[in-house]
Structure 1
């Protein structure tokens, strides 16, 4: 997989996260709070994909939720187009949701199983005041954009495959024309062939609409394929960041190097060599 096209560094940021800190209550009523993010900073430009990669529990999903205003922030700032997101009142958050959307990991859990797909796609349109013929036309346009047939509007989520359900989730995120979509492990629940199809769809949509992505994943090869720039997170801290080609091919930080060695490759000989190298590195780190 090859990286996405390069972006213009002179373009103004649409998202600016600075010194972000988040903590959660510890287990037990007397337990101290647990720090999850420790001064995280990143930014995204219009039409750009910024990858955020790290293992489970690294804090990457918490960053995505903070960008969407879904978790309380202990310190730092999250700004979208110069407007503060963290701790924003409900009315402001509803207004920002027009420009900030999300695609979650599990495409089935994110869809109401009892509501036809057409109604699911129309819901955010109705919330923005679009009704009647305009809303129906927009729903059909969204289905076409994610390569689903017109009759999908009348069907329930259970009638679709995992890849098709993720296409529906993408269509819903696109419904009201956002500038930024948080993609939180959007293909990790899919098989490899379906993953590639969904990733290519996201790239095609970005080329057509200019939408930006914060692309969150534990898979370095997927992040490399999608991203212009990459941030590597480990234990709540950004340990490496830079252009996707540099970070994913010649990483400087030991943790990123370990992620690279852990990434699967098609060549069995190369895969075996990686497993041996990873075993040696892990042995060195624990010795």
Structure 2
């Protein structure tokens, strides 16, 4: 897989700006101290850009996306979207922001309502933002075409589709309101390798056509290399390395990033053993990342 990163002579203003973001959750038990999940994270995403956010299970990468969406509260720091502070936004404003901020979740089998047709699922956000039934029906047809599903998919239930097709429906739902930023939370990790490639290429195609920006959360450096312009690596709630996708995924500076790269599975058993032995020489927690969302 090769990077989509390009070098630009002019750098646009950030669409999303996160500064010194800290998130903590209550500890278990009476008087237990709070557990700090994010420890002062700062990052930017520019319009039309994909920022890959990579780390092992429990590193805090999913929490960043949830904080941007307002699903978990920030204890301190700030989240700014298109110049507007949104981490303190009221629920009514959050609903309005859903037009510009959307999400594709990890599991296509649980992210869709099994009792609603695909057409109803795709129409819901449109009708909720004031579209007429006729307008919603036309938009649903456009969305299905965009994600390469047949028109009759609108009348079918999620159980009638494969995992890759369900994820296409989830992507279509995220695109329904023409958002400017989509948070992709491990969107292909539940799919087989062939289907992963198809979905990733679809996301790139949509970005090329619409200019949407992605925050792409994953544990897989090969996916990050394929999808991202820039990469941020998170470990234990702190960013340890950021940079151009090609540079970070081919010549990482931080031992943890190197361990992630070396722990990625390869087809050759001997090579896999050599890579894991090399990762072990890095020592400590960095040498044994796990392959889960977190």
Give the TM-score normalised by structure 1: 0.96
Deviates more, 1:252-261 or 1:124-133: 124-133
For residues 22-72 of structure 1, give each alpha carbon's deviation from its aligned partner in whole angstroms, at most 9, with x where no partner exists. Answer: 000111132111100000000000100000000000000000001111111
In structure 2, the residue matched to 1:107 is 108
Kindly indicate whether residue 200 of structure 2 is the aligned counterpart of residue 199 of structure 1.
yes
The question of whether the paired residues in 2 share the 8 Å contact of 1:108 and 1:165 is answered with: yes
Match runs of 1:87-236 below 5 Å: 87-236=88-237
Kindly indicate whether residue 252 of structure 2 is the aligned counterpart of residue 251 of structure 1.
yes
Determine the C-alpha separation between the residues in 2 that align with 1:23 and 1:205: 35
In structure 2, the residue matched to 1:3 is 3
| Pairwise CA RMSD | 1.5
In structure 2, the residue matched to 1:14 is 15
Q: Using a 3 Å threshold, how does the CA distance of structure 1 residues 229 and 273 change in structure 2: closer, same or farther?
A: same
In structure 1, the residue matched to 2:54 is 53
Q: Using a 3 Å threshold, how does the CA distance of structure 1 residues 72 and 285 change in structure 2: closer, same or farther?
A: closer
Q: Using a 3 Å threshold, how does the CA distance of structure 1 residues 173 and 285 change in structure 2: closer, same or farther?
A: closer
The question of whether the paired residues in 1 share the 8 Å contact of 2:20 and 2:78 is answered with: yes
Deviation at 1:113?
Answer: 0.5
Q: In structure 2, the residue corresponding to 1:110 is in which secondary structure?
A: coil
Q: In structure 2, the residue corresponding to 1:281 is in which secondary structure?
A: coil
Deviation at 1:269?
Answer: 4.9
The question of whether the paired residues in 2 share the 8 Å contact of 1:7 and 1:48 is answered with: no
Determine the C-alpha separation between the residues in 2 that align with 1:94 and 1:7: 35
Q: In structure 2, the residue corresponding to 1:28 is in which secondary structure?
A: coil
The question of whether the paired residues in 2 share the 8 Å contact of 1:16 and 1:42 is answered with: yes
> How many residues are paired up?
286
The question of whether the paired residues in 1 share the 8 Å contact of 2:99 and 2:178 is answered with: yes
Q: In structure 1, the residue corresponding to 2:282 is in which secondary structure?
A: helix
Determine the C-alpha separation between the residues in 2 that align with 1:23 and 1:164: 36
For residues 182-235 of structure 1, give each alpha carbon's deviation from its aligned partner in whole angstroms, at most 9, with x where no partner exists. Answer: 000000101111101000000000000000000000111111110000000000
Q: Which runs of 5+ in 1 are unaligned?
A: none
Q: In structure 1, the residue corresponding to 2:281 is in which secondary structure?
A: helix
Determine the C-alpha separation between the residues in 2 that align with 1:183 and 1:90: 22
Determine the C-alpha separation between the residues in 2 that align with 1:35 and 1:191: 34
In structure 2, the residue matched to 1:40 is 41
The question of whether the paired residues in 1 share the 8 Å contact of 2:143 and 2:172 is answered with: yes
Q: Using a 3 Å threshold, how does the CA distance of structure 1 residues 285 and 172 change in structure 2: closer, same or farther?
A: closer
Deviates more, 1:260-269 or 1:172-181: 260-269
Q: In structure 2, the residue corresponding to 1:114 is in which secondary structure?
A: coil
For residues 126-160 of structure 1, give each alpha carbon's deviation from its aligned partner in whole angstroms, at most 9, with x where no partner exists. Answer: 01111122111100100010011111101111111
Give the TM-score normalised by structure 2: 0.94
Determine the C-alpha separation between the residues in 1 that align with 2:153 and 2:49: 30
Q: Which runs of 5+ in 2 are unaligned?
A: 288-294
In structure 1, the residue matched to 2:292 is none
